[in-house]
Amino acid sequence: MKAMLALLAGMALLIVILLLSNRSLQHDLNNAVQQHDALTVQLHQRDQLITELNQQMQQRADAELALRQDLSTAAQVMQSREQERQRSLHDNPQSRQWADAELPADVSRLHDRPAFSSASDYLHWLSGGQFLPGSVQPSAH
């Protein structure tokens, strides 16, 4: 009988140990599932971010291509206009004479600017008040 009781006590102790072990393993499994879920969410977010960045990169590449095409078109238009201007100067002696003539002194002076080392130097130069000479005839206003 004592052997039976000892066997039963041993079995009860073994059941308690197994239950505690099962509880610990269940806890570990729950933690692993939570980590798996968290990593799955992070992986999904990373994939979304990669997709968004790829879309942005494609949009920028498309925008760059459009800008390059616009630049090429503008260069072609500018070249065409320059050729037309050169042709006009070559074909029309009056246009050539007008283009070769010097600008009036007052107009030339508007193009003269000293070298500036800072923005404040430029502002100081602007406030210096280099006025154009008055016209000979008063305005009708």
As a whole number, mean pLDDT of residues 24-35 equals 95
The predicted-structure confidence for 69-108, as pLDDT tens digits, reads as follows: 999 999 999 999 999 988 888 888 888 888 888 888 888 8
Q: Choose between 2 and 130: higher pLDDT.
A: 2
Q: What is the pLDDT of residue 139?
A: 52
Give the residue with greater pLDDT, 101 vs 51: 51
Between the CA atoms of 110, 116, 119 and 120, what dihedral angle is there, to the nearest 10 degrees? -90
Reported confidence tier of residue 126, pLDDT bands at 50, 70, 90: confident
The domains of the chain are located at: 1-91
On whether the pTM is more than 0.95, the answer is no
pLDDT at 141: 47
